[in-house]
C-alpha cells in the first residue's frame, strides 16, 4: 500500500517530463556558436552541462507540483487528466507543498553556489513564470490568448538558463530569443486546437477557461502567424549574423512547421500533448533530416572558419 502511495507522489511530480528541460541546451549551443573561442573541454565543462540540466529539472518539477495543485478542480473535466493523483484524491496537498519547497530551495541554492547570479536569476524567473501562469488571482492560463503567450515565455527563459550556464556577461541576440518564444507559441496553439477537438466545445471550456471566447478558426490563424514569425526570425538572425548554419537550417525548419500545421489541421487530437506528435513516423523522419542538415551545416561552417 505504501509503495502505491509513493508511486502516486512520483506521478504528481511528473518526472517523466524531464526531456523538456533539454530545451536549455539550445541556449548553450547558441552561446558556443557565437563565442566558439570560449569552448574549453574539461571536467568542469561537462559538470556544468549536467548540473544546468539538473537544476532546471528541479524548478520544472516544482512548477509541475504547483500545476498539479492549481489545476486539480479543472482536471475533473478532462477524461484522462481526472486520474491525476491529486485530482483523484490519491495524494495529500500538504505533502506536495513540502516537496515543492524542497525542490525549489535545493535547486535555487545549489544553482547560486555553483553558477552564480545570472544563471540563478533566470532559474527563479522560470519559477515565477509558473506562479503567474497557474496561481489565482492572476492565473494567466485562464485568459484567452495570454494563455499560450505566457506559457511560451518558458522557452526564452530556458534558453537564457542554458546560455548563462556558461556566459558571464554576454546577452544573447534578441532575434534568437523572440524566435524561440514564437516557436513555443506555435506548439501551444496546436495543443489548444487539439484540446478543443478532443474534448468538444463544452468540456474544453470547462477544462480550460481560456478557450471560452476563442474559436478554433482564430486559433488556427494565430498558429499560421506564429509559424511564419518562427521562420522569418531564424532567417533574419542567420542573415544578420552571417551564420550559414542557421540559414541552411531555416528552410527544413519551415518544412517542419508546415508539417505540424498540416497535422493539427486534420480532425484528430494528435497534439493533446506535444510529445504525442513524435509518434508520427513521417514527422520523426523530418526531425531526423532536420537535425542531420543542422549538424552538417554546422560542420561545414566550422571547416570554413578555419
Alpha-carbon gap, residue 34 to 15, rounded angstroms: 33
This prediction has a pTM of 0.86
**C-alpha dihedral sign at 57, 59, 61, 67:** negative
> Which residue ranges in the chain fall short of pLDDT 50?
269-270, 274, 306
What does the pLDDT look like over 204-220, one tens digit per residue?
Answer: 888 888 988 888 899 99
Provide the pLDDT for residue 254. Answer: 86
What does the pLDDT look like over 36-58, one tens digit per residue?
Answer: 788 787 898 899 999 999 999 99
Alpha-carbon gap, residue 124 to 116, rounded angstroms: 12
Provide the pLDDT for residue 291. Answer: 65
Provide the pLDDT for residue 258. Answer: 87
The CATH class that applies to domain 1-171 reads mainly alpha
Provide the pLDDT for residue 267. Answer: 55
Provide the pLDDT for residue 243. Answer: 78
What are the residue ranges spanned by the domains of the chain?
Answer: 1-171, 173-306
Provide the pLDDT for residue 294. Answer: 65
Amino acid at each position: 500500500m505504501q509503495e502505491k502511495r509513493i508511486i502516486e507522489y512520483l506521478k504528481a511530480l511528473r518526472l517523466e517530463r524531464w526531456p523538456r528541460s533539454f530545451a536549455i541546451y539550445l541556449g548553450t549551443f547558441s552561446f558556443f556558436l557565437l563565442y566558439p573561442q570560449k569552448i574549453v573541454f574539461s571536467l568542469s565543462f561537462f559538470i556544468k552541462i549536467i548540473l544546468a540540466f539538473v537544476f532546471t529539472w528541479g524548478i520544472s518539477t516544482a512548477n509541475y507540483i504547483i500545476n498539479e495543485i492549481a489545476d486539480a478542480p479543472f482536471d475533473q473535466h478532462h477524461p484522462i487528466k481526472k486520474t491525476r493523483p491529486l485530482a483523484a484524491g490519491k495524494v495529500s496537498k500538504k505533502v506536495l507543498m513540502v516537496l515543492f519547497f524542497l525542490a525549489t530551495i535545493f535547486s535555487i541554492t545549489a544553482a547560486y553556489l555553483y553558477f552564480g547570479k545570472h544563471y540563478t536569476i533566470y532559474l527563479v524567473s522560470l519559477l515565477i513564470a509558473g506562479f503567474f501562469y497557474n496561481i489565482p488571482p492572476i492565473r494567466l492560463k485562464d485568459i484567452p490568448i495570454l494563455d499560450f503567450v505566457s506559457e511560451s515565455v518558458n522557452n526564452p527563459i530556458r534558453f537564457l538558463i542554458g546560455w548563462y550556464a556558461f556566459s558571464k556577461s554576454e546577452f544573447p541576440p534578441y532575434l534568437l530569443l523572440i524566435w524561440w518564444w514564437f516557436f513555443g507559441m506555435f506548439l501551444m496553439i496546436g495543443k489548444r486546437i487539439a484540446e478543443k477537438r478532443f474534448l468538444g466545445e463544452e468540456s474544453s471550456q470547462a477544462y480550460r477557461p481560456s478557450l471560452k471566447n476563442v474559436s478554433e478558426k482564430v486559433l488556427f490563424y494565430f498558429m499560421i502567424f506564429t509559424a511564419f514569425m518562427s521562420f522569418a526570425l531564424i532567417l533574419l538572425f542567420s542573415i544578420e549574423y552571417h551564420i550559414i548554419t542557421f540559414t541552411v537550417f531555416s528552410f527544413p525548419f519551415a518544412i517542419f512547421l508546415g508539417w505540424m500545421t498540416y497535422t493539427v489541421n486534420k480532425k484528430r487530437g494528435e497534439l493533446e500533448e506535444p510529445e504525442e506528435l513524435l509518434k508520427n513516423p513521417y514527422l520523426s523522419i523530418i526531425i531526423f533530416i532536420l537535425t542531420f542538415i543542422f549538424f552538417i551545416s554546422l560542420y561545414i561552417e566550422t571547416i570554413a572558419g578555419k
